[in-house]
Amino acid sequence: MNIRTILYLVASVFAINLTLSGNGYAAPPVHEGKYKVLHIMSFHSPWRWTDGQLQGFQEAMQGVPTDYRVFQMNTKKNSSTEAKEKKGKEARDLIDEWKPDLVYTSDDDAQEYVAKYYVNKDTPFVFSGVNADPKLYGFTGSRNNTGVLEQEHFVESVKLLKAIVPDVKRIVAVFDDASMWDPVMKRMKEKERELPGVQFVAWDVIHTFEEFKQKIREYPGQADAIALIGIFNFKDENGKNVPYQEVLKWTAENSRLPDFSFWLDRVYYGTLCSFTVSEREQGLAAGRMARAILVEGKSPASFDMKPTVKGLPVVNLARTAKLGIKVKSGVLLSAEVVRKFEWDK
């Protein structure tokens, strides 16, 4: 048997082992050049949340020769079902044309309008920033889908708020009408019992910016604080989405109540505090999965779909000054401090 035959047989055995690894999943072939990775953002860039996820992903993939392409669905602007479907079709056309070795999808719209169409196909998909139960997209039990769930640090965020404003007892939670908030609201209600002495007096779903303004003016008679959760889908008088930065700026300039949320960028744009979900940790976890799938030939099905656990307390000192709140030094020493509103920089 000559050396060429031996090498052929070894290569054949290696390929068979890869093909049979994990639930019949066929791993991508070993490349002489670069792996092709397509990143499909539900939202847009520049934005710290989406950019941070991609940066974390690329950090985990460091040293792996990779050709990246990025497709932005920008569903904060393309918010109608028709617009999302159009963007989803464009992304699927790109997948079918470019034939990436792996698709990295961030946040829920990319799952609903893109990834779910490829369940149990040959191309591996890895997600991050997903709020909904993966089974809604058909990912549970799929051989080619895995990823990282985004679950808010709800209890920690309320405790941070109370460390800043100890007298808070009644909270109202605000959501826009996007379906992505349904599981968030459900988890918050389930964990409310872990916050003795705190009562959520309302769970308001708001449709327009004018309605939001009216509610903010009414809340001081009902509550001591506000949970600003869904703020992307408020419509103006022409039926167009009001940018969330504008919503937060108006709130900081007009609301008399302390507020909190779950994301870092909200604090930069005026929200008082947050125990944040780390976009970097989301991307890092997804990138580690992608690396193992591409380089080690692991099956996506071999990874559990679970949330990241690392968070960060953040406090906006400009907002505390506006509300006349004095924050204890111990709170500030353990938190990231935002000293200016984003629009004042």
Map out the domains of the chain with their CATH numbers. Answer: 3-151+279-307 (3.40.50.2300), 154-277+311-344 (3.40.50.2300)
Predicted local confidence at residue 283, as pLDDT: 97
Digit-coded pLDDT (tens) for 255-272: 999 999 999 989 999 999
Predicted local confidence at residue 77, as pLDDT: 87
Give the position of tokens 């989301």: 282
What is the Cα–Cα distance from 162 to 168, expressed in whole angstroms?
6
What is the Cα–Cα distance from 328 to 338, expressed in whole angstroms?
15
What is the Cα–Cα distance from 315 to 274, expressed in whole angstroms?
7
Predicted local confidence at residue 29, as pLDDT: 63
Predicted local confidence at residue 273, as pLDDT: 98
What is the Cα–Cα distance from 231 to 43, expressed in whole angstroms?
14
Predicted local confidence at residue 51, as pLDDT: 96
What is the Cα–Cα distance from 345 to 340, expressed in whole angstroms?
7
The amino acid occupying position 36 is K
> What are the Cα distances from residue 192, in Å, to 12, 198, 204, 230?
56, 8, 16, 18
Digit-coded pLDDT (tens) for 150-160: 999 999 999 99
Two structure tokens written together for 5? 């035959």
Residues in the chain predicted with pLDDT less than 50, given as ranges, are 1-23
CA 310 distance to own-chain centroid: 14
- DSSP annotation of 235 reads B
Residues 6+ apart with CB under 8 A from 157: 260, 261, 262, 273, 274, 275
